[in-house]
Chains A and B, each alone.
Chain A
Amino acid sequence: MENGKLLDVRDLRIVLDADGEDVPIVDGIDFSIAPGKVLALVGESGCGKSVTSQSLLRLLPRELRIASGQIDFRHPETQLPVDLASLSEDGKAIRNIRGNHIAMIFQEPMSSFSLLHSMGDQIGEVIRLHRKTSKAETRTLVIEMLDKVGISDPDRAYDQYPYEFSGGMRQRAMIAKALACSPSLLIADEPTTALDVTIQAQILELMRGLQGEFGMAIMFITHDLGVVAQIADEVAIMYMGRVIEKGPVREIFLDPKHPYTVNLLRAIPKLGDLRVRRQLEPIRGAVPSLFERPEGCAFHPRCDSFMAGRCDVQLPELAEIAPRHEVRCFLHETAREGDAT
């Protein structure tokens, strides 16, 4: 594991058990997160971003499993890397990490709360699992946390039940629960997708603020490029289970290299184009079914720069074409030597 990295995922492969056949869902991805930074994992349906996030904390459903690869996490207590992929799914080691050093928030806040317990009890449970605090101390910590995430009257909120909260407040409460033990990494799986745009803005502001205060890294999964541009430091674009481009956010948006990235950016409406009335340029076709993965580069059937005999036969490697900017595409592999393309 490289020095300075908090999380380093290498050649991760996750397969789906479909009636005895193993279908690759995530087909060898690499990415890493530096401490205190935000990495956005971006892609459309079927790209495997949610599955990847679940696999980090070994929360995959039964039909999915990690086939190979490493998930190195620098454990804050020992400062040594732990391969999360090698840990037993129900073992003490992973449970010591979940909620404590790595936390997760989801798209639908209602489904991550129990209806039968008060909000305070549920958030307090996380603290008591990992810290030896008394009931009174826990209560104080929870109320502090609720206040930090911007829930008004946190004292009263402690005793309320999740269904009494509005959507935005539930999302805040979920964040409070996730950050209760000051994790060094927060995995956010589409946390704002289901929210109104004004609430989304509030939550994003909140996350940015808390990130700075806690010094924690965030792995932000989304399909919304607008949100990515606003919150990410680094971006990894996924397509059909592979990372096809990654790099600093400015590089990706202002100088995209992979045809998928380029086309994706041209296909989304931007307010900046409103005045010039730029026509949207859709990507033709649709994402193929995971059971019918194209040979070679998975994007080739939809690619305008498709090179027959190459793209449909071989899988290109991830190559660095600029500092920290890597692309998986035959168009750019010659740039490895440093020439501009």
Chain B
Amino acid sequence: MTSLLTVSDLKVYFPHGKAGMFGRPTGYVKAVDGVSFEIQRGETFGLVGESGSGKTTLGRAVIRALEPTGGDITYHRDGAAIDIMALDRRAMRAMWRHMQMIFQDPYSSLNPRMTVRDVLSEPLIANKLAKGAELDDRVIDIARRCGLDVEHLSRYPHAFSGGQRQRIAIARALVLEPEFIVCDEPVSALDVSIQAQILNLLKDLQKQLNLTFLFIAHDLAAVAYICDRVAVMYLGQIVEVAPTEALYYSPKHPYSEALMSAIPEADPRQAMKPLLLEGERPSPANPPAGCRFHTRCRYAMQICRESPPALQEAGAGHLVACHRAEELTLKGALEQGPP
């Protein structure tokens, strides 16, 4: 497996508060505060976390859909390592032919005043990649792949259901034939029975078109279904990265343990025994000193209050940021461990 995207010490800070006549910020919300990870070509890399974790911000920052405050992003293509942060606006626009995004809300991510055909044609037109008959062919092809009919192309988004709109959004993201797609909660706003359609569509398209996904979600069961590896974020930092089964069944970070134990399984025989976290989630504008999780951690010790742990290897492909990772044995989801 080769690396597709390498992120190193990425930071995204938002100014907040207004002071003075011209509204100078009084502080910063550190939505993403020093995140490093690698995504391999062809994999589906999951990113989970709760509100305030910064996962959505990270997803947008990684393709510079919003401007990071600091750090490095390296994109590997055709053997070359491209420094994403160094690109100017025009070069970035060209880069977006290879990196795209699917949004959470199928209602606000499509311009209601454009027909489906317009929506799908626009990326090709804006990038001057095709016109005329070739343009039509490519549009029809991608629409079909996403489960849309030709007769849908002349309609406006308001005529479609949530699931269909999401298909249109996926088709739009794919029409430029990108390699890497950031999926920002692509199924959260959909009905349960439709989520499966879209998840399966994404899996199929990945195989057909050799795609790499960064899959951001808060539904841990959906993430388990579709992702190869998963990273857990808490308060702007990655606390654990592991292959899916390893993370779910043998988490090594106390926060991951709490998350896994809180997943309500759709099986009345599996009674949930959640490990409830104490206290409240701190504000991202004012994170705790030392390990950010220590205020809610049942295993916290003095060192946790003093120094922030680094993200380190704790097994094959398993990274965790916890001082006590070696000594703790944590419970996995459904209380199952490796066979």
Contacts and interface: CB of A to CB of B under 8 A. Distances in A.
Interface residues of B, number: 45
Interface in B171-222: 191-197, 199-200, 218-222
Interface in B144-172: 161, 163-164
Contacts of B262: 197-198, 200-201
A6 interface: no
23 contacts: A196-B218, A197-B262, A198-B50, A200-B264, A201-B261, A202-B274, A204-B272, A226-B263, A230-B264, A269-B199, A269-B219, A269-B221, A270-B265, A271-B263, A271-B334, A272-B334, A273-B225, A274-B245, A275-B245, A283-B196, A286-B163, A287-B161, A287-B191
B268 A223 contact: no
Contact of B266 (A205, A253, A280): A253
B280 interface: yes
A265 B196 contact: no
Of A44, A228, A275, A282, most buried by chain B (CB within 10 Å of CB) is A282
B256 to A, nearest CB: 11
Given A205-B274, A223-B192, A271 B221 contact: yes
B265 A272 contact: yes
Q: Size range of the interface on A?
A: 35 or more
Interface string B264-306: 1111111110101100110000000000000000000000000
B272 A230 contact: yes
Given A280-B196, A287-B191, A227 B222 contact: no
Interface of B: 50-51, 161, 163-164, 191-197, 199-200, 218-222, 224-225, 244-245, 248, 258-259, 261-272, 274, 276-277, 280-281, 333-334
A269 B224 contact: yes
Nearest to B223: A269
Of B164, B259, B267, most buried by chain A (CB within 10 Å of CB) is B267
B192 A44 contact: yes
Contacts of B197: 282-284
Interface string A21-65: 000000000000000000000001100000000000000000000
Contacts of A225: 192, 266
The DSSP consensus for interface residues of chain A is helix
Interface string A186-226: 00000000001111111011000000000000000001111
Interface string A291-332: 000000000000000000000000000000000000000000
